[in-house]
Amino acid sequence: MSAQALFTGFFGVAAVWFGVVVFRTSSMVRSALALLFSQAAIGAMFLAMQAEFLGVLQVMMMATEMSIMAIFMVMYMMDPGGLGEMEMTHQKRASIAAGALAALAAAGVAALTDWGPAAAAPPAAEQTERLGAEMLGRSMLIFETAGVTILTAMIAATAVAIERRRRR
């Protein structure tokens, strides 16, 4: 068992554990922060898998993203502090079944397939450079599309969210 597998597994377990906490705690802020740390652990997995740029990016983006999620949680939940332990789930059994099934299926596929030999990772600096080349070369169109889509989404979301102008 290589050190890489060890670290990947460690952070993976952390990610899963925090992911479970998200749905088990009754305090909204806690679950938002649990999701944050779950995503951060995923970023750490990227680092363990030598995808340095992606890892750092993930860790950086999720901090802001999930904190913003936290404030919306507090706004839109009836019991943000989770002091009332009110039931906020439905179709629990079916959901558990579906989740377990999906996990087993994916894991099964992963385990039964023969992936062939593992390749060696390029150095981090080269990765960043090549990723940039990819982004501004072959995948330029995807990149641009993503950018434009984000802009559209920002405008659309704002337009939907703001208060309707009073007729006067």
Q: Distance (Å, rounded) from C-alpha 87 to C-alpha 37?
A: 24
Q: Distance (Å, rounded) from C-alpha 65 to C-alpha 38?
A: 13
Please state the closest distance from residue 97 (CB atom) to another protein, in A.
9
Any residues with CB less than 8 A from the CB of 68 and at least 6 apart, and which?
none
Cβ atoms of 43 and 56 within 8 Å: the answer is yes
- For position 44 contacting another protein by CB under 8 A, the verdict is no
- For position 78 contacting another protein by CB under 8 A, the verdict is yes
Q: What does the chain come to in residues?
A: 168
- For position 148 contacting another protein by CB under 8 A, the verdict is no
Tell me the two tokens of residue 62: 């999720």
- For position 165 contacting another protein by CB under 8 A, the verdict is no
Cβ atoms of 59 and 44 within 8 Å: the answer is yes
- For position 81 contacting another protein by CB under 8 A, the verdict is yes
Please state the closest distance from residue 1 (CB atom) to another protein, in A.
6
Type and span of the H or E element at 115: none
Please state the closest distance from residue 167 (CB atom) to another protein, in A.
15
- For position 141 contacting another protein by CB under 8 A, the verdict is no
- For position 122 contacting another protein by CB under 8 A, the verdict is yes
Q: What is the CA 8 to chain-centroid distance, rounded?
A: 16
Please state the closest distance from residue 156 (CB atom) to another protein, in A.
7
User: Which of residues 159 and 167 has its CB atom nearest to another protein in the complex?
Assistant: 159
- For position 1 contacting another protein by CB under 8 A, the verdict is yes
- For position 144 contacting another protein by CB under 8 A, the verdict is no
